[in-house]
């Protein structure tokens, strides 16, 4: 009559996500078998992990368009207001910035989206007109101020926008003076 060993020499992999597999190797010093426990990830889980980590690292780190900012100062204001109307907060972060570039390259995505949410809420509009720009005093050629007329229902608000030129001659909205909207 055959007796069953209480413990098989090699465990068969279990169907759990993390299966433990026993492997043996001979030790030259002891002459006996050494058991080594390893965690083994199924291939599908490893692939999913790599995909998710890659997506997490890339999230918010590249604009949907070709380059951050806009090719001209008035285009930066127009793009920013269109994105605010569409409530595309991450893309707004690629148009809002300083002479160093977009704030999404500097600040965490979550913080930028919160700030852009606040600005988009204040800048709700039915339409807008970007006025002619004027240089900002003391910042020759690097910053231009625009008075933008925002239409909201029957009301019209004058909101000053300041744009700056950044890397690769791209323009960014640097400042929006929402306090001029009178607390609406």
Please state whether beta strands 101-102 and 33-40 pair in parallel, antiparallel, or not at all (unpaired).
unpaired
Tens-digit pLDDT profile for residues 45-92:
454 454 444 444 444 455 555 689 999 999 999 999 999 999 999 999
Please state whether beta strands 101-102 and 127-135 pair in parallel, antiparallel, or not at all (unpaired).
unpaired
With a CB cutoff of 8 Å and minimum separation 6, the contacts of 155 are: 184
Nearest to 120 by CA among 174, 178, 163: 178
Tens-digit pLDDT profile for residues 18-28:
444 444 444 44
With a CB cutoff of 8 Å and minimum separation 6, the contacts of 46 are: none
> Rounded CA gap, 37 and 40, in Å?
10
73-181 folds as Nuclear Transport Factor 2; Chain: A, (3.10.450)
**Hey, where are the domains in the chain?**
19-58, 73-181
The model carries a pTM of: 0.64
- Of residues 142 and 17, more confidently modeled: 142
For residue 157, what pLDDT is reported? 92
Confidence grade of residue 2 (pLDDT, cut at 50, 70, 90): low
- Of residues 8 and 81, more confidently modeled: 81
With a CB cutoff of 8 Å and minimum separation 6, the contacts of 171 are: 69, 70, 71, 72, 73, 75, 76, 163, 164, 165
For residue 36, what pLDDT is reported? 45
> Rounded CA gap, 173 and 60, in Å?
18
Tens-digit pLDDT profile for residues 103-123:
999 999 999 999 999 999 999
With contact defined as beta carbons under 8 Å apart, do 144 and 136 qualify? yes
């Amino acid at each position: 009559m055959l007796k069953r060993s209480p413990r098989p020499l090699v465990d068969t992999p279990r169907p759990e996500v993390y299966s433990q597999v026993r492997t043996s190797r001979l030790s030259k010093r002891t002459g006996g078998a050494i058991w080594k426990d390893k965690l083994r990830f199924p291939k599908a889980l490893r692939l999913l992990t790599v995909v998710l980590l890659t997506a997490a690292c890339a999230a918010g780190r590249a604009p949907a368009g070709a380059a951050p900012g806009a090719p001209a100062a008035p285009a930066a204001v127009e793009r920013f207001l269109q994105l605010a109307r569409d409530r595309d907060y991450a893309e707004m972060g690629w148009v809002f910035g300083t002479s160093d570039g977009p704030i999404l390259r500097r600040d965490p995505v979550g913080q930028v989206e919160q700030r852009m949410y606040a600005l988009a809420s204040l800048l709700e509009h039915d339409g807008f007109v970007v006025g002619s720009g004027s240089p900002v005093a003391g910042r020759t050629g690097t910053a231009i101020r625009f008075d933008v007329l925002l239409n909201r229902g029957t009301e019209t608000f004058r909101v000053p926008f300041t744009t700056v030129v950044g890397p690769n001659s791209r323009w960014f909205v640097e400042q929006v003076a929402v306090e001029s909207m009178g607390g609406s």
